[in-house]
Structure 1
């Protein structure tokens, strides 16, 4: 099976934290990967609290709500990165939760190596997300990737693959069987991603695939476990989360940018999927100082 998911480096660094590392309701559009080598802290949400401890790896998938806390001292290697895939399917769609694994010697060597070949990729502004979670900074770090030599780019990608692979096996990974997606569904997914701000209908997608609506909907659901409409709405809201977190755009503009021509409908769907209204979601971002 071809590898469909790739990872784009944002930051990598080794830091020593104290009680100032105390942030609630963190929701980031990228992944966080920690290797703790000293001290202790917690990652928590409404359902659970995970105690960070030396000798363990922790993966926080994108758009996973959590609180980050250190009461005294915590030293960690961290990597922050975006996930990219041509079909828009995340490896961790069904595993949006913090995952923990005991570190291995290979993991430690990989953290040291990715840090060595990517110097100057620390956040350098603050350990507070309110300072560095801005779209302008994301673009700045992405540009650094474009300046890498091809050998460093491939080695960085290989290290990220190795580290992510550690979390793709049971019990950490909930769904380790990734089925081959039919080409007509892949085409529909790509079309949705590229036209997320446009009107999208199931009949339109079925026509592109030269299939009737019922048959197209059935194979789409068999492949992704959800209807085309539900998938479209989830992708619209995922894009809206990113825009709310990283920009100062008005909600009406974000609704239009994500394919909703009715602000009330946008707000209703947003709350159904995230549990919060767009305004409440933005307020959380303001509390964190994202904007």
Structure 2
């Protein structure tokens, strides 16, 4: 774990109970929010980058934001779904620091928590289950604003339940990165705070009072990737969020993230997400 303060700023977007009959089949889903499922009955599958998982009763399933995945359902399937938005800041999220398991067994307490969360957040169900219907800027902002309508004590309870359910996945979580060098932490904070600007190795190495070569070697040792790979990943994640939330063209988003070459931005976006910005914006990503 890094020395940064832990950050878990969860906001509930949706919660509901759904029963499907071979009609839960969606390809290339990738959203700026985390999905949590409690499977009540039946069977279905989820296809993730690291393999296919069978969704079985009495289990919780977690799909982090910006994770490309697909659903396969050829029969009866009953589940409770929870969509969770984590506000992006210049601090480090636990979700970024850990590799979390996809699946954990539920306890009686988990079931009670899910049902209580639905009870105190009525009318937060999805009107339609096609992701292209709800995974858009208007719906996302509407769902975020719904939380402000709750009494304060229910907002606190909602956040507490979300954190309790999420904590079930922490027991078997593995550390993804452990940044021990304060110079790299300083560089990471600078990148996050200035992700909309042009960033280069010389800027970052100077910030850390290192030569370019020394900085690159140290960054790769700590982060298991090059500085530019990390910067590009964070820029494209921000672009995904902007495509959902902001009413901007792809060209405007590219320029706002300091990409002068639109073709390069499009190529980088597809290399990282598997889809072009145009496909993402049109809803083909979901």
Common fold by TM > 0.5: yes
CA drift of 1:87 comes to 3.8
Q: 1:76 to 1:191 in 2, by over 3 A?
A: same
Q: Which runs of 5+ in 1 are unaligned?
A: none
Between the aligned partners of 1:164 and 1:287, the Cα distance in structure 2 is 25
Which one of the candidate residues 156, 159, 162 is aligned to 1:154? 156
Alignment of 1:1-291 (within 5 A): 2-45=5-48, 48-84=51-87, 86-87=89-90, 89-93=92-96, 99-123=102-126, 125-170=127-172, 173=173, 175-176=174-175, 179=178, 185-208=184-207, 211-214=209-212, 217=216, 220-244=219-243, 249-279=248-278, 285-286=283-284, 288=286
TM-score (norm 1): 0.82
Q: Deviations over 1:90-148 (max 9, x none)?
A: 4344777871111111211110121122222112x201111111111111111122333
Q: Which runs of 5+ in 2 are unaligned?
A: none
For these two proteins, the number of residue pairs brought into alignment is 282
Structure of higher RCO (CA pairs closer than 8 Å, 6+ residues apart): 2
Q: 1:68 to 1:281 in 2, by over 3 A?
A: same
Which moved further from structure 2: 89-98 or 13-22?
89-98
Q: 1:216 to 1:153 in 2, by over 3 A?
A: farther
Q: 1:96 to 1:180 in 2, by over 3 A?
A: closer
Other structure's SS at 2:116 match? helix
Between the aligned partners of 1:96 and 1:137, the Cα distance in structure 2 is 29
TM-score (norm 2): 0.83
Q: 1:95 to 1:180 in 2, by over 3 A?
A: closer
Q: Deviations over 1:25-65 (max 9, x none)?
A: 11111111000111221112465322212111111111112
CA drift of 1:150 comes to 3.0
Q: RMSD across aligned C-alpha pairs, in angstroms?
A: 3.0
CA drift of 1:268 comes to 3.4
Q: 1:96 to 1:244 in 2, by over 3 A?
A: farther
